[in-house]
Amino acid sequence: MSITDIQNEIIDEFSMFEDWEERYQYMIDLGKDLPLINDQYKTDSNIIKGCQSKVWVHAELKDDKICFTADSDAIITKGIIAILIRVFSNQKPKDIIEADTDFIEKIGLKEHLSPTRANGLVSMIKQLKMYAIAYQTQLN
Amino acid sequence: MFNVEDIRKDFPILSRQVNGKPLVYFDNAATSQTPQQVIDVIVDYYSNYNANIHRGVHTLSQEATDKYEQARHAIQKHFNAKFAHEIIFTSGTTHSINLVANGFSSILKKGDEIIVSALEHHSNIVPWQMLCERTGAVLKVIPMNQDGELIMSEYDTLLSNKTKLVFVNHVSNALGTINPIEYIIEKAHQVAAAVLIDGAQSCPHIKPDVQALDVDFYVASGHKMCGPTGVGMLYGKESWLKKLPPYQGGGEMIAEVTFEKTTYAELPHKFEAGTPNICGGIAFGAAINYMNAIGFDTIASYEHELLEYATNKLLEIDGLKIYGTSQHKTSVISFNLENIHPYDVGSILDKMGIAVRTGHHCAQPIMDYFKIPGTVRASFSFYNTKAEIDSLVAAVKKAKMMLA
């Protein structure tokens, strides 16, 4: 599936929730369920320090696609990471570079991407794009 | 007679909604809200007499200068400083601290010692570290105990003839502990060390008397005392302020300028280079007058009531731990739910219209001490109510249910 298709699928899923509580409960469950990263990659070099919560990101190139794994110490942050990974992992570097993240606003989680939240997510998205640019250069 | 419902009418922001819920503002330790009386002063300034001060002969400049100096006198009176020129307007506590730290860079020598406390805000750690790097002085730290109190016996052993400066906050921003500054000042003076007290967190609750304390420097911010952001004060004993070199060069701080030599202006202008935050200074004075009209004894006793009520209610929640359990505290509660990250709790509280601070509160050494990533901090002001605390407690229970 393309990045846009996955984003639309997520928007559809979230449109079924009636209020913030259902949205947040879903995010929390996502955060709880997923083993997001292999412990060996939870290193200091993979860490993105926010003022509030920490985020770890690891990237690998498999064939011509990038596989992302990530984690956070805060569960709501982790839930959002799960969504970001669903969108951006197993995609071609070029597509990741060109993708936007407007869908986050459409699913009512915009406040978590505000710089004042300082939860590491803004830096995480930047980091995902940086990996994509780096791998794109490699593939060229 | 103190009536919180009447007081709340002074604060227009308290009637707004957040995420469809009535705002419950419990982030007062970060910044306080502004009463209409202070907002009116700001509007009046820009509507009627906005002008640069201490320079013009025209009427507007005279009026602005008079009001600005009246504000300085209001602050002097509030802190009971001996002279008005011992009150320096700054952009806030951080600026005040840096002004003093910079001044001491020409006084300190290699091997001199500076004492800070384990309870400090980053703004009261970093300038001293920078000062130590510049001068070769050594930074010593007064440790704290499990209740979040400074250990005075350890402080005694750190003091020596090498100690030149002691910097401690009056109240910890992360935990709310009120530090025994009378003792700290007295002991420091016995070894002839100067003392700076950071009053950013105490001044919203306590009225310090700088002469009775015999403190050398005392600093505070306007925006934590119902005033605007971007303005604060430095109190310094006249003898110290005369000794310290100017911090910034510019207009206002000079007496005479030639290309060969500049002579500096008298206090307080020596430390007030450039056009200051005139409106902010005047509004800061108005805020101090507003709080004094209510009365600091009244404020402290009501806030203590809120603190006790909230502490008891929150502790009824299973798995909730409060950090900072000193008997001497301002109305601040730092807490965590067992195995739940403070960011998650804060996010859910925000959805329910409750504003708290989460994170390390710019006091990472304290968080490292307790081995936690941060806390949720609820800080109460005299315009908060027990009903709002009930909303907080209900919201924390809900967060626990959703996150556990």
Q: What is the pLDDT of residues B61-85, one digit of tens each?
A: 999 999 999 999 999 999 999 999 9
Crossing angle of helices B278-294 and B36-44, in 10° steps, is 150
In terms of Cα–Cα distance, which of A5, A140, A127 is closest to A68?
A: A127
DSSP 8-state secondary structure symbol assigned to residue B332: E
Alpha-carbon distance A113 to nearest alpha carbon in chain B (angstroms): 12
Regarding whether B369 and B261 lie in a shared domain, the answer is no
- Say whether pLDDT at B330 is over 70: yes
Q: Do A73 and B341 touch (CB under 8 A)?
A: yes
In terms of Cα–Cα distance, which of B220, B288, B280 is closest to B68?
A: B280
pLDDT at A70: 87
Q: Do B343 and A119 touch (CB under 8 A)?
A: yes
Task: Quote the domain boundaries for residue B196.
Answer: 39-293
- pTM (2 decimals)? 0.91
Regarding whether B278 and B302 lie in a shared domain, the answer is no
Regarding whether B311 and B262 lie in a shared domain, the answer is no
Regarding whether B302 and B189 lie in a shared domain, the answer is no
Q: Residue B84: helix, strand or coil by DSSP? A: helix
Complex confidence, ipTM: 0.87
List B203, B226, B279, B362, catalytic entry:
B362
Name the residue with higher pLDDT: B136 or B249.
B136
pLDDT at A35: 64
Rounded distance between C-alpha atoms, residue B34 and residue B55, angstroms: 30
Regarding whether B118 and B95 lie in a shared domain, the answer is yes
Instruction: Single out the residue in B258, B293, B328 at which a domain terminates.
Output: B293
pLDDT, mean over chain B: 94
Instruction: Single out the residue in B263, B293, B323 at which a domain terminates.
Output: B293
Please tell me the total count of domains within chain B. Answer: 2
Regarding whether B91 and B123 lie in a shared domain, the answer is yes
Flag whether residue A51 sits within 8 Å of chain B, measured between CB atoms. yes
Q: Is B132 a catalytic residue?
A: no
pLDDT at A117: 66
**Average pLDDT for residues B145-168, to the nearest whole number?**
97
Flag whether residue A76 sits within 8 Å of chain B, measured between CB atoms. yes
Name the residue with higher pLDDT: A41 or B300.
B300
The residue in chain A having the minimum alpha-carbon distance to the alpha carbon of residue B357 is A52
DSSP 8-state secondary structure symbol assigned to residue B372: -
In terms of Cα–Cα distance, which of B220, B112, B92 is closest to B165?
A: B112
Q: Do A52 and B351 touch (CB under 8 A)?
A: no
**pLDDT tens-digit readout, B198-238:** 999 999 999 999 999 999 999 999 999 999 999 999 999 99
Residue partners of B253: CB distance under 8 A and separation at least 6: B246, B264, B265, B269, B270, B271, B272, B273, B274
Rounded distance between C-alpha atoms, residue A125 and residue B98, angstroms: 36
Residues of chain A contacting B19 with CB distance shorter than 8 Å:
20
Give percent of chain B above pLDDT 70: 99
Regarding whether B180 and B138 lie in a shared domain, the answer is yes
- Say whether pLDDT at B93 is over 80: yes
Instruction: Single out the residue in B293, B323, B342 at which a domain terminates.
Output: B293
Give the type of residue at A103.
F
DSSP 8-state secondary structure symbol assigned to residue A72: E
Best interface-test mutation with B: which of A53, A109, A121 has the largest number of B CBs within 10 A? A53
Tell me which residues of A are annotated as active site: 51
Name all domains of chain A by residue range, CATH numbers in brackets.
3-139 (3.90.1010.10)
Q: Do B343 and A52 touch (CB under 8 A)?
A: yes
